[in-house]
Amino acid sequence: MNSNTDLKAQLIADFKDAEGKMNGEAKSPIHLVRQQALQTFNQLGFPTIKHEEWKYSNVKNLVNQSFTFNAPSDFSAADVEQMAIPNLDGNILYFINGVYNESLSTIVSPSDEVVILPLAEAIKSHADVIEKYFNQYADSADNAFTAVNTAFAKNGVFIYVPEKKVVEQPIILRFIADARETNVAAQPRNLIVVGKRAEVQVAEAYRSFGENVSFTNAVTEVYVAEEANVHYYKVQNESDQSYNIGTTAVYQEGRSVFTANTVTANGGFVRNNLNIKIDGEYAEANMFGLYIPNGKQHVDNHTAVDHAKPNSNSNELYKGVLKDKSTGVFNGKIYVREDAQKTNAFQSCKNVLISNDATMNTKPQLEIWADDVKCSHGTTTGQLNDDALFYMQARGISKDSARALLMLAFAQEVIDKMEIPAIKEYLEGLIVEKIYQA
């Protein structure tokens, strides 16, 4: 393990070391983007709580640790069995400490239906597409974590769905952090390009195990062409020793539909950024989220929807159940540009605190420059309904069971948005298990 406890210095040194081993790639257009991103990261540095966007999420403990990036692992098929999602079929790709493991992965969709490649391979074989879309939507100019991910962009996946193709099987990206031997870190970079009238389901699933600390800094960019339909899911079930900072940046053309469902079951420190730009008429964006932290877990969801064209719709619902000394953050922004007349944009964040020591910080934001729109935003934070608890107990249900049933019913609205049955059943099991924990 690197003894350097200045993560910024370690990353800059690692970049220069890797760059020194390159041949022709050092002059490629993609690497020029990487170089600029590193300069940006060097200028920005990691955010502190003085940064408004990180006011409630302190990364001090993270950046004062050292990590082995893309560490080797003996993660095996036997380990896969232990972490398998029952009855899950489809294209399942494993990334162990950020590195694609072909032997554990299964790709079943035909290549004329969808192209699924490790990003490093796609940079060589599909350079024209990569150069057109890479780093066009993720904010590497103002976000230090996105900038450093861009600088090291190599590991991850490239998904390309041609026009009018419907990908019948879901694409599941399983990111495993193996921290059994040392502190480990990974920076997956994913690029998803979906052509006109095409349709695909993509899920990112994060797991970590081991006694040491893990850090995942992931960036996913999604281009959704006209009339395309994309379902995107993120499932996080990591250890209390994990740090997971992820950014999903989406660009939508006209009449497209993008639906995101983000569920955080476990994780020591989680920050999810979901940024969507609707740049076409009659497009629709849906964002659903659920987080159920306990112990001292910290979950931060930052969302932003930018309506740039008229006649578009966005619908957002996030729900949180917070226990023990956990903390939650929700910051949701809606922008309606001057030209985006007849926009419909709705945002709601609802939270239940089942401990006097749990904390929830919410900040809904709405900026409108158009005058013919329907927009609303709101947030609520409270405790379980005492009348409902009393009613259930009066009918012979124990207090603990009554509380659990009410929490499950509260969470179910988001879980029901999950359209991959195996993942939906897996999440329901996780939530029930966690809700019933003492």
User: Is the pLDDT confidence value at 1 over 50?
Assistant: no
Pairing relation of β-strands 214-224 and 284-291? unpaired
Helices (H), 231-361: none
- pLDDT range class, residue 431, cuts 50, 70, 90: confident
Nearest to 279 by CA among 342, 229, 226: 226
For residue 191, CA distances in Å to 132, 209, 221, 402 come to: 11, 26, 5, 44
Over the stretch 70-113, which tens digit does the pLDDT of each residue have?
A: 999 999 999 998 888 999 999 999 999 999 999 999 999 999 99
Is 171:192 a contact under the CB 8 Å cutoff?
A: no
Q: What average pLDDT score do residues 171-181 get? A: 97
The pTM (predicted TM-score) of the whole model is 0.96
The whole-number pLDDT of residue 2 equals 41
The rounded percent of the chain whose pLDDT value lies above 70 is 97
Look up residue 166 and give its DSSP letter: B
Q: CA–CA separation, 270 vs 264, rounded Å?
A: 8
The whole-number pLDDT of residue 4 equals 40
Over the stretch 132-162, which tens digit does the pLDDT of each residue have?
A: 999 999 988 999 999 999 999 999 999 999 9
Residue type, 134: F
Q: Is 86 in a helix, a strand, or coil?
A: coil
Over the stretch 377-399, which tens digit does the pLDDT of each residue have?
A: 889 998 877 777 777 888 888 87
Over the stretch 335-366, which tens digit does the pLDDT of each residue have?
A: 999 999 999 999 999 999 999 999 999 999 99
